[in-house]
Structure 1
């Protein structure tokens, strides 16, 4: 269940990047000015039109398909009166944050929330006529109850330095107004998180990769604050707490619909895609055929 949703989210996130990139450049002042230079290489120039042509060649078809899919889902949801309750959306976002670790750092974005909502609407559309017995839904819940038992989680950034003196110097700079993310990129010894401005996403109480001392500190912190130096096996850590989420156990009634959709999707012979509704939505597009694989 979760692997499929994670794949959808990765695809959705890439689609958002593509859409935002194209729209940004299409809406800038001077759009249509073919002679405008966007880069030079020696005496050679690359104008905006060349650049945009390349963007369309690489991303145009996929980006347009994603836009069409989104509109199709919205229209079909209206037609069949499908709505996603706020609690269902919040639960889905909570599960993503706690289960996908570093990916959770993007889940506060409004655009990402909309993608999750769109995915839920698509699942409802695809499974609206499916009949799954209460017994099968209850059995799935009983066998996978741990999936719906969410531990307390913390969205953290970190700066790792080698000595206590380095940690204290970093704290003084933070107190003087320096950016946590800038300092993380500049001096944190953890290469992966430093490239993200120190952001390590959401970590749960059950995370075994972080030192117990780090989790203990995070548990006692207030959102929007940084910690003092935390002794590690090698070096010291300074944490910044973005968000804290209390643990929660979802009851059968709270996740019943989610399980029904998942079991129905697993029985389907077709991909989880809005293309199944293109004909019904009367889609025509730039690339010709109503449906594209």
Structure 2
């Protein structure tokens, strides 16, 4: 699996995990501070759902996965400390930039969790370092891999865009006038855009790059001419007419061999040892004992 494809998978997993943990913990915390276990969190006619029933259901659905994730995080930190393993801020930042530019996971809403995303990346890199700590890869092999796969380590320029899609040119021009008069782009997208998925997010479609085939080439061409916070004039698209807003931009960057040498070593080493990239590998070493059974994963 290529590095970019790998991070697309990781991005999806991070999003699911973050949402699950946030939902489970925030709701449980909120409930525990405001009501007793037998008080109702909802009523349907004469029937009630108690706080305890609700928390039991949350635990049965998500409890094991959330607890396992928390254990995995602690295991990675403990084993990394044991073997004096660290990853640099530069490595984390490089992977974060690649994730932003290629995974289309950074809409306006979840981009606010940048610190959480970077911590997930740091944990993932730490785990790779732990798994491959004893594997030696020659400089010749490392350099050969880099020379053959240079483009894998390029971060493409990417544009964080929002759009409004309407059926007719007249509707597009009307929306453009309203924007010029101070109307909110997000509000207009929610109200007018016929592209329902993005409309629900205020028109936000996340980051796209020239490699992205989901949107017309004109999106990138238009985005290149915009300043952050500015929006375009209406232009024709397959569904009707579009207006684009540039939320933010990531400049493209090419990384040298020295920048990515350690990343290549980990990647080659992981292919050699053929060990699943999982913290569960170290549960015995970390002496994990948990609610769902001693060392049972």
Structure 1 and Structure 2 fold alike (TM over 0.5) = yes
- Return the offset for 1:107: 5.1
Q: Distance in 2 between matches of 1:208 and 1:7?
A: 18
* 1:114 alignment partner in structure 2: 119
Unaligned runs of 5+ in 1: none
- Return the offset for 1:182: 3.3
Q: Does 1:96 align with 2:102?
A: no
Q: Distance in 1 between matches of 2:96 and 2:111?
A: 7
Q: Does 1:28 align with 2:30?
A: yes
- Any idea what the Cα deviations from partners look like across 1:53-93, whole Å, max 9, x if unmatched? 00000110110000010111122222222222121111101
Greater mean deviation of Cα atoms: 224-233 or 131-140: 224-233
* 1:8 alignment partner in structure 2: 10
* 2:41 alignment partner in structure 1: 38
Q: Does the aligned pair in 2 maintain the 1:164–1:235 contact within 8 Å?
A: yes
* 1:197 alignment partner in structure 2: 202
Q: Distance in 2 between matches of 1:18 and 1:152?
A: 31
- Any idea what the Cα deviations from partners look like across 1:198-249, whole Å, max 9, x if unmatched? 2222111343443333222210211123223233354221112121112211
The 1:28–1:279 alpha-carbon spacing in structure 2 relative to 1, beyond 3 Å, is: same
* 2:134 alignment partner in structure 1: 129
* 1:271 alignment partner in structure 2: 276
How many residue pairs were aligned?
A: 291
Runs of 4+ more than 4 Å apart? 29-32, 175-178
Q: Distance in 1 between matches of 2:192 and 2:130?
A: 49
Q: CA RMSD in A?
A: 2.1
Please give the residue correspondences for 1:1-293 in structure 2 after superposition, counting only pairs within 5 Å: 1-2=2-3, 3-28=5-30, 30-31=32-33, 33-100=36-103, 102-105=104-107, 106=110, 109=113, 110-175=115-180, 177-292=182-297
The 1:288–1:208 alpha-carbon spacing in structure 2 relative to 1, beyond 3 Å, is: closer
- Return the offset for 1:150: 2.9
Unaligned runs of 5+ in 2: none
- Any idea what the Cα deviations from partners look like across 1:92-150, whole Å, max 9, x if unmatched? 011112222x2243455221221111111111111111111112222221222221233
- Return the offset for 1:51: 0.9
- Return the offset for 1:177: 4.9
Q: Distance in 1 between matches of 2:112 and 2:80?
A: 24
